Structure 1
Amino acid sequence: MAGGAAGGRVASVSGRVASVSHGETSCRASGQPIEVHELGTIDYLTAWRRQQELATARAEGTGPDTLLLLEHPSVYTAGKRTEPEDRPRDGTPVIDVDRGGKITWHGPGQLVGYPILRLADPVDVVDYVRRLEQALIRVCERFGLRTGRVEGRSGVWLAADGERPERKIAAIGIRVQRGVTMHGLELNCDADMAEFDRIVPCGISDAGVTSLSAELGRDVTVAEALPLVREAVPEALEGTLPVTECDVRKQQEAPAGVTFALDPELR
């Protein structure tokens, strides 16, 4: 698999996304293809500095729109709205960052995406977040999972079923400055969900967290999910993958004859 590495991790690869038609449905200011860089496993602070350099260049018009895809070694990061009670009670170190949202965990088995791009005027941050969510909803659909949104909460969710509460499988946390985006998305693939037990993930105490592997009952590596994210994010940003409602609390049982199944390309 392109970009794959031993053990299902991601090899360092740089390249351009195949051109996606740029028109009135795009949220980007540029009509040039997004440059995608697959960085493998990279320290959080190193990646943050890389984001800052790319964002400065993009704001000054000297750099392209870029999407970084990577994994981090285990780390907790806290957004601007993090409350003291959300943090680890055992004193585990936390990196305070300049994105929105609250506290989360990054680590092995979690695919992280950082789009660094200039948004078209007038800047619509909510629309941008919805597009990132739509991309990850599409990725989950390719794996045969029915996911969506929960009103008032960002990210991608599975509906409550039986004794299990609503569960977040992907999170969004961004920053927009001078019209340029930073930070982005995380998708739990085969991450250790126990890492979330030390915190109140995203400040939400009445819901759970989950992963592709936990929901599908098999190992789904970052390397397996990465090509789908690499494809879906630019499509959502350009609008060729349109934003739909996808409210998990309003989703009804699939009509007779309609099923959700694994994409044949992933079998």
Structure 2
Amino acid sequence: MVEIVSELVYARLGTIPVPYEEGWALQRRLHERRVAGLVPDTVLLLEHEPVYTAGKRTGPWDRPQSDPGAPVYDIDRGGKITWHGPGQLTVYPIVKLRDPIDVIAYVRMLEEAVIRVIAEFGLSGRRVEGRTGVWLEADPQRGLIERKIAAIGCRIARGVGMHGFALNCNNDLTWFDRIVPCGISDAGVTSLTQELGRDIGVADVIEATERHLADVLGARTYDHVDGVPELPEPAEPARA
């Protein structure tokens, strides 16, 4: 695997769901400091309070057509609309990518990490041409259509990534009924718990996620901290 980063710090933000606005602000602060070289490549792992996030390609028909029951944020990542909330592991790699930057290759690495994680639970994840994320193949004999188990949406600014991926563990899937998830109307959404018939929570997948993400990004070492990582203040510009 091609090295993207040399070492990673994983910041586990705990079991209390994080309001989206708070998590987004933390991403932006961390991104600013990574661009400035003040912090190492850092990955946030968290659960959000229920929220819908609409990427730059979201159409009006993709959005909730009635009371969504949760805030809707228009954000600066690629892709369309999705949901985040309790029971879903959301992963934000704030990492500096090597030149020349290949966004598609980076997205494929994130997909590969998820594919390896769910393989540890006996599920065969796959990519679908023309669609991002990780999918489970349709099974007509069981009456199952193609369904997404992890959504991916990224933004690269000044060489540093933001946003990332979300793996459905034991979240309430009915939240997706209010939207057209990722703008795809002819497929379903699923979770580890739904597929395996037993409860698989966020805590059950964090260690595997850290291990496989570090591997696909080529990190030689990784460590983790509990809670918000220390964020040094950027230097103020010198006054004339």
Q: Same fold (TM over 0.5)?
A: yes
* Separation in 1, partners of 2:127, 2:104: 13
Residue 45 of structure 1 is aligned with which of 13, 16, 21? 21
Residue aligning to 2:223: none
Alignment-mate amino acid for residue 215 of structure 1: E
Q: Is 1:25–1:239's contact at 8 Å kept on the other side of the alignment?
A: no
Residue aligning to 1:179: 159
Residue aligning to 1:36: 10
Asked which structure has the greater RCO (Cα within 8 Å, sep 6+), the reply is: 2
Q: Is 2:45–2:92's contact at 8 Å kept on the other side of the alignment?
A: yes
Which portions of structure 1, spanning 4 or more consecutive aligned residues, are displaced by more than 2 angstroms? none
Once the two structures are superposed, the pairs formed by residues 1-267 of structure 1 within 5 Å of their partners are: 25-28=2-5, 31=6, 33-40=7-14, 41-92=17-68, 93-162=71-140, 163-238=143-218
CA deviation map 1:38-57 (0-9, x unaligned): 00221111111111011111
TM-score norm. by structure 1 comes to: 0.78
Residue aligning to 2:229: none
* Separation in 1, partners of 2:218, 2:185: 34
Q: How many residues align?
A: 214
Alignment-mate amino acid for residue 10 of structure 2: V
Q: Note the residue ranges of structure 1 that are not aligned, 5 or more in a row.
A: 1-23, 241-267
Shift of 1:239: 7.7
* Separation in 2, partners of 1:51, 1:136: 21
* Separation in 2, partners of 1:152, 1:138: 21
Distance verdict in 2 for CA 1:68–1:239, change over 3 Å: closer
TM-score norm. by structure 2 comes to: 0.87
Alignment-mate amino acid for residue 110 of structure 1: Q
Q: Note the residue ranges of structure 2 that are not aligned, 5 or more in a row.
A: 221-240
Shift of 1:229: 0.6
1:45 alignment partner, SS class: helix
* Separation in 2, partners of 1:95, 1:80: 11
* Separation in 2, partners of 1:63, 1:239: 16
Residue aligning to 1:245: none
2:13 alignment partner, SS class: strand
* Separation in 2, partners of 1:239, 1:134: 15
CA deviation map 1:21-61 (0-9, x unaligned): xxx82123xx3x21110002211111111110111111111
CA deviation map 1:76-132 (0-9, x unaligned): 110000000000011434111111100000011100000001000000101100000
**Between the two proteins, what is the percent identity of the paired residues?**
56
Q: Is 1:188–1:212's contact at 8 Å kept on the other side of the alignment?
A: yes
Shift of 1:141: 0.3
Q: Is 1:116–1:181's contact at 8 Å kept on the other side of the alignment?
A: yes
* Separation in 1, partners of 2:18, 2:9: 18
* Separation in 2, partners of 1:63, 1:123: 20
